[in-house]
Amino acid sequence: MPELTYLQAISDGLRTEMRRDKRVFLIGEDVGVYGGAFKVSLGFQEEFGPWRVIDAPLAETAILGACTGASMMGMRPVAEMQFADFVSCAWDHLVTVAAKQRWRAGTPVPIVVRLPSGGGFSGGPFHSQNPESSFAHIPGLKCVCPATPEDAKGLLISAIEDPNPVLFFEHKHLYRRIKSEVPEERYTVPIGKARTHRIGRDISLITWGAMVYTAEEAAQQLENDGVSVEVIDLRSVMPWDKAAVLDSVRKTSKVLILHEDTRTGGFGAEIAATIAEEAFEDLDAPVQRIAAPDTPVPFSPPLEKAYIPQVDDVVAGLRNLAEY
């Protein structure tokens, strides 16, 4: 099996679907000649031509609105937002048209929006955000947040196959840092099924995206203390794998929820509320959350480091829970 970076795995998934299905096309700013701001679609325009790898004007509403219209005519559009942050410009389209069309008018909108998200490299307030919880709140949208190269490919293919608008949050900090074996052939990873990243007995650590790696490092440190931490990678927050979370919580009786998005109204709040409703009797400690503080994402390295949850923060949180 070849080793691919997270970024190469996304390219591989997209290329696989574009070769297999003529209805699939890519549209976005600078995705064609330039190959995308992060080079996910490098070489795509040469292979598929300018009408399947479309350099759009700087107009996010036009890009996503056009995807919706094209999808209604039988195409399978994949849009790239240059940065996840810029999806705010097309918020109205996604929330007003794409999310509601199937429910009210019976017309499915099978589109994929790729969203390079997340911080860790001084991107500042407008190139670092993780807006998945805002969209998870909108009935009709799906939100996928892969952490591994294998999942990135398999979930992207599932997203393209899915008959709904799917927001595909690809974490920029993983693009070139994370590399692992990825099957060469076409495969899918089901949307809505969590993955047990690490099996443990004492504490459940629920997370997704780049925080899976922060969680893993923290769990390794706790192992030296004799505390066994189970890391659950949700893979998608809408739909989210409630059963997997509750199963893990029932086993360990203590839970820490970790996410890179801000705390208040972040998706961790929904998970915590669900655990409180459905597994209260199984808990031996209050449900804990570690998340970014409720501020915009700061630019300067020491500020950003204070903002994004660090391994030490998670270790401290886990130790508190272990001692409870």
Partner 1 sequence: MAVAREAEPVGSLHEVREAGLDREDLLGVYRNMLITRGVEERGHILYRQGKIPGSFYTGRGNEAASVGVATAMGKEDVGTPLHRDMGVHITRGVEPWRIFAQYMGRADGPTRGRDGNVHMADAQLGLIAMVSHLPAMLPVAVGAALAFRIREEARVALAWFGEGSSARGDTHEGMTFAGTRKLPVIFVCDNNQWAYSTPTHLEYATEHVADRAQAYGFEGVVVDGTDVLAVYREAKRAIDKARAGGGPTLLECLTLRMEGHAVHDDAFYVPKVMFERWAESDPLERFRTWLRDNVDMTDDEEDEISTGVKKLLNDALKRAEDSPLPEPHDLLDGVYASNEDLDTPHHK
Q: Which of residues 114-173 bind partner 1 (CB under 8 A)?
A: 139-140, 142, 163-164
- Residue of the chain from 34, 103, 126, 324 that contacts partner 1 (CB under 8 A): 103
Q: Does residue number 88 form part of the binding site for partner 1 (CB under 8 A)?
A: no
**Binding footprint of partner 1, residue count (CB under 8 A):** 44
If one counts every other C-beta atom within 10 angstroms of the C-beta of residue 111, the result is: 28
From the list 59, 199, 273, 316, which residue makes contact with partner 1 (rule: CB under 8 A)? 59
The verdict on 188 binding partner 1 (CB under 8 A) reads no
Which x/- pattern, by CB under 8 A, does the window 276-315 give for partner 1?
----------------------------------------
Residue 206 CA to residue 249 CA, distance in Å, equals: 10
- Tell me which residue of 205, 190, 213 sits closest to 248, measured CA to CA: 205
Closest listed residue to residue 113, CA positions, set 26, 209, 188, 35: 26
Residue where the block lists tokens 């009408």: 51
Give the residue with the Cβ less far from partner 1, 74 or 226: 74
- CA separation for the pair 272, 276 (Å, rounded): 6
Quickly count: other Cβ atoms within 10 Å of residue 35's Cβ: 18
Question: Is 97 or 311 the residue whose CB approaches partner 1 more closely?
Answer: 97
| Least spacing, CB of residue 102 vs partner 1, in Å | 4
Q: Which of residues 11-50 bind partner 1 (CB under 8 A)?
A: 25
Q: Per rule CB under 8 A, is residue 320 in the interface with partner 1? A: no
Q: Which residue stretch of 54-62, 180-188, 204-212, 215-223 sits at the interface with partner 1 (rule: CB under 8 A)?
A: 54-62
- Give ∠ CA 64-124-132 in degrees, rounded to 5: 45
Told to judge if 173 belongs to the known catalytic residues of this protein, a careful annotator would answer no
- Does 68 participate in binding partner 1 (rule CB under 8 A)? yes
Rounded CA separation 8/284 (Å):
42
The answer to the question of residue 75 lying near partner 1 (CB under 8 A) is yes
The binder of partner 1 chosen from 9, 26, 40, 67 (CB under 8 A): 67
Q: Do the Cβ atoms of 218 and 314 come closer than 8 Å?
A: yes
Binds partner 1 by CB under 8 A, chosen from 8, 15, 28, 52: 52
Residue 64 makes contact with partner 1 by CB under 8 A: yes
Neighbours of 303 (CB within 10 A): 12
Contact between 176 and 187 under an 8 Å Cβ cutoff? The reply is no
**Whole-angstrom distance, CA of residue 236 vs CA of residue 195:** 10
Least CB distance to partner 1 at residue 114 (A): 17
Among 127, 179, 118, 126, CA closest to 152: 179
CB 144 within 8 A of CB 177: no
> Which one of the listed residues 93, 127, 173, 259 is annotated catalytic?
127
Positions marked catalytic: 127
Q: Which residues bind partner 1 (CB under 8 A)?
A: 25, 51-52, 54, 56-57, 59-75, 77, 92-93, 96-97, 100-110, 139-140, 142, 163-164
